[in-house]
Amino acid sequence: MGTIIAYRKGYTGKTAKVLAKALGADAIGLMAPRGRLHLNPTLLICWGVGVDENAGASLNAHCFASFDKREAMRLFIRAGVLTPLLVTGEAPYGFDTIWRPRHHSGGRDAIIVPEDARVEIPEGWFGVQFMPSDKEYRIHIAGGQVIFAQRKVPEEGADPLIRSHNRGWRFVSFEPRNAEALLYASATNAVRALGLHFAAVDVIHGPYGYAVLEANSAPGLEEGSLQKYVEYFRREENRYVEREDEGRVRVAPPAAPPAWTAAVVTTNNAG
């Protein structure tokens, strides 16, 4: 059996199917974020869904930590990745906060609460310090390398505080440069902290340096970023094909580092 892309039904299927078509692979939807796939593909690519059991080689099979954004933030903090402060206890906190559901995507559900305000927060949401920033990036990491870099730019009437597509912001790509080394270190360390093979990491820049907001294990892709993921997955596919043609035992992709244990580059001081 060839390559299979597993996705979570109702959440990550659109992009997974586009990837599958580009790779000539099969796309299989699973009902839960933690599913089971009783197949033996040459390569299993988990696109926004994890699997408990799989007999073949896989990428991001254990990406469960990326689904719960609050728990992901805790893993970032534990690994030494600079992030906004997680809110604990009751107000006042001494700073503005932003609240979101623990399982969210995009900028549809977000509440910014000023320091002196009292707002009823929906059950199941979590809060972090609202950090002012002058730039926001999305850095795509695969196999421990930057494969694509984007920054967010506003359209007319864009929300000045929450930078999301449905609030008037769009991505533009740029060529990675050595000058952004700390930006890439922040993104790479975030992916390592969650034990992922690949992810798109949202990073902001402000007076404090670079801070990670979240890592997406099933990001939306445009033409340029789609091509980079296809090239990465092709390299992983060819790893097995070449070994099989030579009569050798198939070798799995390099294991994703366990969450929390990665060596961390300090990103508190931006250059």
pLDDT tens sequence across 137-180: 999 999 999 999 999 998 888 887 778 777 788 889 988 777 68
Mean predicted confidence (pLDDT) in 101-122: 81
25 touches 1 (CB < 8 A): no
| Least confident stretch, 108-112, 117-121, 254-258 | 254-258
Mean predicted confidence (pLDDT) in 121-137: 90
Residue 240: the pLDDT is 57
Residue 162: the pLDDT is 79
Measured CA to CA, the distance from residue 268 to residue 259 in angstroms comes to 21
Mean predicted confidence (pLDDT) in 122-138: 91
Measured CA to CA, the distance from residue 30 to residue 250 in angstroms comes to 26
Residue 242: the pLDDT is 52
Residue 238: the pLDDT is 80
Residue 53: the pLDDT is 64
pLDDT tens sequence across 68-108: 899 999 999 999 999 999 987 777 788 999 999 888 766 66
Residue 108: the pLDDT is 67
* Cα→Cα distances 94→85, 197, 207, 261, Å: 12, 37, 18, 32
